[in-house]
């Protein structure tokens, strides 16, 4: 079992959600995060002059899938979240020990 | 002279409008600080409404407008509003109740104290600010108001013009803000270039809008009559605000982008600059006065930042320098054709008026800066001006007031 943690552009959430759904992954957790990669920050305007904001708003999408499903889920995200410009984000794949569905108590593969 | 109902109604409405400017300042400043200091910044203005609202009726009005003592201060005759009643004052505003004139002036004292707070946000100890505010009202505002507007005040006597408070309100607050910021020192991280991102620019814009609205009471109300002069000051006020807002927007655009924060700041700069001139100049002169204010204040703000002075919300650049330009501009553009109680300025063949205005500017600059410096040091010695490093890092909302602006979660 693996957790796919994708840091994506805010405006890419809808395409990513739809692409994941199309390949059969309905469950996901989305949070507002801020961070930076090689893109760095951006300059914003003060009353006169400007200042830099070093961390930019992004969304973090978390999906837990079985090992054999990692490739198609990954493909759905990279295909839809990509613009080709700096700032498209990153994906991390993390091993997951177990999962439990609270309602039924099911665990493992039945829970994701 | 009998009381004139229209004049009384206008001055009372104007007083209420000027009162609303102080919550306007609270929003204008509050939106410009970091989110952790939003409430504490607003609190500084609301505290002035409470504190100065009391001190003014107890003794502030008397020290400012009581019978003259040597051109320097008013006497104590009006302590706790003694003798200030429904009949007109014999020397101020002869067609409205003395009480109406008194409360109109109260709102000026309140907002002037509130304006200074922009210099010291995000790091001043609340108790120290309260003590400073009381001392500043007593030892800076009251004398300066008497010099300029008191019957027998020395600047009034030599003929320096200030229609609605360019020197009394804006130079006094702006220059004092600079002095107090220097005594207090910068915010943690300011010198290191930490970004101090405005927490809520829409609030700044709403605050500027309330200020613009209230300023019609401030300037047109200062006619103290309801008629042609009030209308002239009203129109001059709007023209200058519009000219300055537009100019600031274009300056920002030339640099990079036209910003809402810039338009809001420009409007305030234009309103400041027209304040001393509003009832002495032909309204169309609001155009050069407003454009001049925007350009001057814009570059003063850049100058202030370049020199690493944490006069945090630019009270000096906008009010101090905008007021200075406005007071000088009054000496250039004034004409008795608008107000027979005024004077002709440079453009109307009286260059001497510029010198009189300069005398007013120089004396209020020197006095406000010096006295505020001393008062700041005194308060620092008695209770300490600054919060602790931890309190500053946590934010003044929590550390000084035990409240937060953005609370309330779903759980």
The domain tally of chain B equals: 1
Residue B193 has what pLDDT? 87
pLDDT in tens, A39-69: 678 888 888 888 888 889 999 999 999 999 9
Strand partners, A2: A65, A95
Secondary element (H or E) of residue A58: strand A56-65
Residue B232: both structure tokens together: 């002239």
pTM over 0.90: yes
In a domain, B331, yes or no: yes
Is B197 in CB contact (< 8 Å) with chain A? yes
The ipTM is: 0.73
Report the residue of chain A nearest B313, measured CA to CA: A47
What share of chain A in percent tops pLDDT 90? 71
User: In chain A, which residues have their Cβ closer than 8 Å to the Cβ of B256?
Assistant: 43, 45, 50
Of the candidates B77, B72, B99, B74, the one whose C-alpha atom is nearest the C-alpha of residue B86 is B99
Distance from CA of B298 to the nearest CA of A (A): 7
Segment among A8-22, A47-61, A79-93 with least mean pLDDT: A47-61
Kindly give the pairing relationship between strand B73-74 and strand A42-45. unpaired
- Average pLDDT (A101-105) is 95
The whole-number pLDDT of residue A27 equals: 92
Who has greater pLDDT, A26 or B95?
Answer: B95
DSSP state letters, B125-185: -HHHHHHHHHHHIIIIIHHHHHHHHSTT-HHHHHT---SSSIIIIIIHHHHHHHHHHHHH-
* Cβ contact A51–B197 (<8 Å): yes
Does residue B381 belong to the interface with chain A, where contact is any CB pair within 8 Å?
A: no
Task: Give the CATH number of the domain where residue B218 resides.
Answer: 1.10.3430.10
Residue A111: per-residue pLDDT: 86
Confidence of residue A72 (pLDDT cuts 50, 70, 90): very high
- Going from the C-alpha of B125 to that of each of B30, B35, B188, B236, B399, the distances in angstroms are 16, 18, 14, 39, 10
Q: What domains are there in chain A, each with its CATH number? A: 2-111 (3.30.70.120)
Domain span at residue B322 reads 5-401
For residue B409, the model assigns a pLDDT of 66
- Does residue B202 lie within any of the structural domains? yes
For chain A, the average pLDDT equals: 92
CB nearest to B195's CB, from A47, A48, A53: A53
Looking at residue B348, what DSSP letter applies?
A: G
Which of B100, B172, B213, B92 lies closest to B370 in space, CA to CA?
B172
Residues of chain B predicted below pLDDT 70: 409-411
Residue B34 lies in a domain: yes
Instruction: Give the tokens for residue B141.
Output: 């505002």
**What distance in Å separates the CA atoms of residue B298 and residue B248, rounded to the nearest whole number?**
7
Percentage, residues of chain A above pLDDT 70: 99
Size of interface A-B (CB pairs under 8 A): 35
């Amino acid at each position: 079992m693996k957790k796919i943690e994708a840091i994506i552009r805010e405006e890419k959430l809808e395409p990513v959600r739809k692409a994941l759904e199309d390949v059969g992954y309905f469950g996901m957790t989305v949070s507002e995060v801020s961070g930076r990669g090689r893109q760095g920050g951006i300059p914003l305007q003060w009353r006169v002059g400007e200042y830099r904001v070093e961390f930019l708003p992004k969304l973090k999408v978390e999906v837990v899938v079985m090992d054999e499903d990692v490739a198609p889920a990954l493909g759905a995200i990279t295909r839809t979240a990509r613009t080709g410009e700096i700032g498209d984000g990153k994906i991390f794949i993390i091993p997951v020990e177990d999962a439990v569905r609270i309602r039924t108590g099911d665990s493992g593969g039945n829970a994701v | 002279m009998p009381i004139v109902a229209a004049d009384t109604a206008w001055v009372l409405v104007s007083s209420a409008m000027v009162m609303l400017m102080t919550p306007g300042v609270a929003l204008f400043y509050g939106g410009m600080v970091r989110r952790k200091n939003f409430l504490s910044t607003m609190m500084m203005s609301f505290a002035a409404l409470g504190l100065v609202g009391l001190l003014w009726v107890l003794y502030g009005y008397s020290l400012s407008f009581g019978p003259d003592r040597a051109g320097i201060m008013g006497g104590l005759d009006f302590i706790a509003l003694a003798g200030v009643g429904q009949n007109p004052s014999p020397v101020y505003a002869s067609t409205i109740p003395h009480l109406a004139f008194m409360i109109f002036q109260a709102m000026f004292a309140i907002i002037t104290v509130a304006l200074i707070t922009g210099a010291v946000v995000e790091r001043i100890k609340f108790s120290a600010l309260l003590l400073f505010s009381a001392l500043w009202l007593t030892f800076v505002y009251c004398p300066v108001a008497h010099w300029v507007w008191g019957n027998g005040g020395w600047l009034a006597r030599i003929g320096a013009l200030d229609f609605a408070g360019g020197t009394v309100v804006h130079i006094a607050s702006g220059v004092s803000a600079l002095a107090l910021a220097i005594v207090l020192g910068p915010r943690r991280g300011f010198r290191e270039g930490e970004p101090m991102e405005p927490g809520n620019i829409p609030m700044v814009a709403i605050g500027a809008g309330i200020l613009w609205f209230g300023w019609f009471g401030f300037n047109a109300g200062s006619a103290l009559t309801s008629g042609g002069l009030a209308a002239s000051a009203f129109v001059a006020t709007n023209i200058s605000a519009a000219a300055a807002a537009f100019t600031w927007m274009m300056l920002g655009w030339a640099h990079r982008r036209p910003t809402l924060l810039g338009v809001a700041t420009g409007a305030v700069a234009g309103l400041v600059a027209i304040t001393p001139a509003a009832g002495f100049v032909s309204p169309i002169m609001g155009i050069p006065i407003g454009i001049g204010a925007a350009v001057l204040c814009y570059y003063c703000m850049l100058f202030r930042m370049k020199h690493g002075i944490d006069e945090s919300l630019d009270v000096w650049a906008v009010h101090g320098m905008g007021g200075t330009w406005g007071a000088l501009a009054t000496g250039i553009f004034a004409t008795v054709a608008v107000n027979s109680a005024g004077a002709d300025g440079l453009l109307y063949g009286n260059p001497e008026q510029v010198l009189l205005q300069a005398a007013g500017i120089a004396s209020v600059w020197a006095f406000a800066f010096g006295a505020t410096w001393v008062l700041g040091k005194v308060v620092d010695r008695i209770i300490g001006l600054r919060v602790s490093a931890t309190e500053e890092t946590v934010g003044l909302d929590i550390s000084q007031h035990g409240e937060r602006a953005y609370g309330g979660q779903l759980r």
